Amino acid sequence: MSTLMRATHTFTKLLSPSSRSFSLRPSASLPTRHQMSTEAENVIARLKNSGLLRSQGLIAGKWVDAHDRKTIKVCNPATGEVIVDVPCMGQKETNDAISSAYEAFYSWSKLTATERSKFLRKWYDLLIAHKEDLGQLITLEQGKPLKESLGEVSYGAGFIEFSAEEAKRIYGDIIPATLPDRRLFVLKQPVGVVGAITPWNFPLAMITRKVGPALACGCTVVIKPSELTPLTALAAAELSLQAGIPPGVVNVVMGNAADIGDALLASTQVRKITFTGSTAVGKKLMAGASGTVKRVSLELGGNAPCIVFDDADLDVAVKGAIAAKFRNSGQTCVCANRVLVQEGIYEKFANAFSKAVQNLQVGDGFTEGVAQGPLINEAAVQKVESFVKDAISKGAKVLLGGKRHSLGMTFYEPTVIGGVKSEMLLSREEVFGPVAPLLPFKTEEEAIRLANDTNAGLAAYVFTNSIQRSWRVSEALEYGLVGINEGIISTEVAPFGGVKQSGLGREGSKYGMDEYLEIKYVCLGNMNSN
């Protein structure tokens, strides 16, 4: 994230006065495929020596293979090379993990809050102690620049630290009784076994954001990481064991997503599903959870507007929009999917924004100075290409980029597209790639209407120097998160979640703890008798 923001400080002068299109600045020293492969091999060797490159699932404190010995390949998206094979697990292994978590729940939930807090604090300490190893592992299997990966480790570990602290602040309540011989009170108790299904774009933070509060509340977990990026989850699980968290409290299965999901949904021992991913899959999980009336919390897709008003500080808006759009190559649910720019500042912003974007160096995440890595796979690139093609066919103009990068594989050029309209796919759906569509607007009312014209409601960004406008617009936006003059707003101490079809519930902060707690009312009668 910091690399992206720093990249906006230096503008080049490639724009001629008569031109509105830009060319990407060629890199002086792009790494060769051989160099990328060699660096990846060195990282793999270091991770093996550290003991954090695990290639088996974790059930009941033991590292296990799939029952049928089937495996799937985990690949480096920057090179396409196989990192390691991991078990392709399914229903049977998931049921084993559920049984393990269910058995561990009784003893774990009976520990005092202070005891659970100490385990979580130790886990946090180990995550931080292995920050470099975990960061390298994230870059290896997910592709993001190493500086971003290291930032994710700090961010992800923060959820464990916060949960360790918040574990001791789960309070009940006393209710004034309506009759003199009664006492009424409220207990908060852990939900039970939690199925946590996480995506590939933040392979550590999306796990710790769920598992930290779950464990703090006294729940046990079955984690299903993405089959594209399971290695970070396994490394984190290894460190949980080293922290002394008892066997069965944390379990990890990976492989056949449909079979694993079906097993979690069907089990009456699983009392909650927490999921981060696409809206389509979230709807299926929500429907499936109804069979056993499980609690669900869903953090789903977004279509984040980034609104730049005439009175915005241009430099602040450019830096913030780049941070909101291009971190993780545009592959986050809170990435700015639409950049709405008021007409009075549109040309100035488009020029300054494009100049800044053309300085973003694309390459292997282990290369110094790289601000954008590869997309996760070929399907992701094809989706971006189809969205760009749709926009061009409907009259939009590519100001910068707009095609695959010369590095090949799944690298795509940082792209800016002007003249985008609401009917284009870039406006209607989540592109999940490094493409910034610019849409002009006239009035504050029009900006709010355009921003809210979507089924999504996760994150939104506003750039203005007017305090009054910032209040009006943030209150009018139908989104769970709003950043004012800031493009990076996620933190473990604030609630994260969306409205409309972007999900249910909140993660992070004290509000996120409630997602893993049941409220029990107790009435004690006959208090006046002996």
Residue 321 to residue 333: CA distance in whole angstroms: 15
Dihedral angle of Cα 521, 527, 529, 530, to the nearest 10 degrees: 100
Active-site residue flag, 227: no
Task: Determine the residue type at 192.
Answer: G
Where does residue 287 fall: left (phi above 0), alpha (psi -120 to 50 degrees), or beta otherwise? alpha
Where does residue 508 fall: left (phi above 0), alpha (psi -120 to 50 degrees), or beta otherwise? left
In the 3-class helix/strand/coil scheme, how is 336-387 assigned residue by residue? Answer: EEEEEEEHHHHHHHHHHHHHHHCCCCECCCCCCCCCECCCCCHHHHHHHHHH
* CA within 13 Å, CB half, 382: 3
Element spanning 72, H or E: strand 71-75
Cβ pair 437, 338 in contact under 8 A: yes
Residue 290 to residue 192: CA distance in whole angstroms: 17
Residue 367 to residue 529: CA distance in whole angstroms: 76
Q: What angle do CA 2, 164, 286 make, to 5 degrees?
A: 80
Cβ pair 487, 322 in contact under 8 A: yes
Burial 448-474 (b: 16+ CB within 10 A, else e): bebbbebebbbbbbbbbeeeebbeebe
In eight-state DSSP terms, residue 247 is B
Q: Which of 227, 299, 430, 444 is catalytic?
A: 299
DSSP bridge partners of 64 = 57
Residue 442: closest CA among 348, 347, 343, 349: 343
Residue 199 to residue 219: CA distance in whole angstroms: 21
Cβ pair 477, 460 in contact under 8 A: yes
What angle do the packed helices 131-142 and 113-129 form, to 10 degrees?
A: 70
Q: What angle do CA 237, 241, 244 make, to 5 degrees?
A: 140
Task: Determine the residue type at 359.
Answer: N
Residue 231 to residue 83: CA distance in whole angstroms: 10
Give me the active site residues, please. Answer: 299
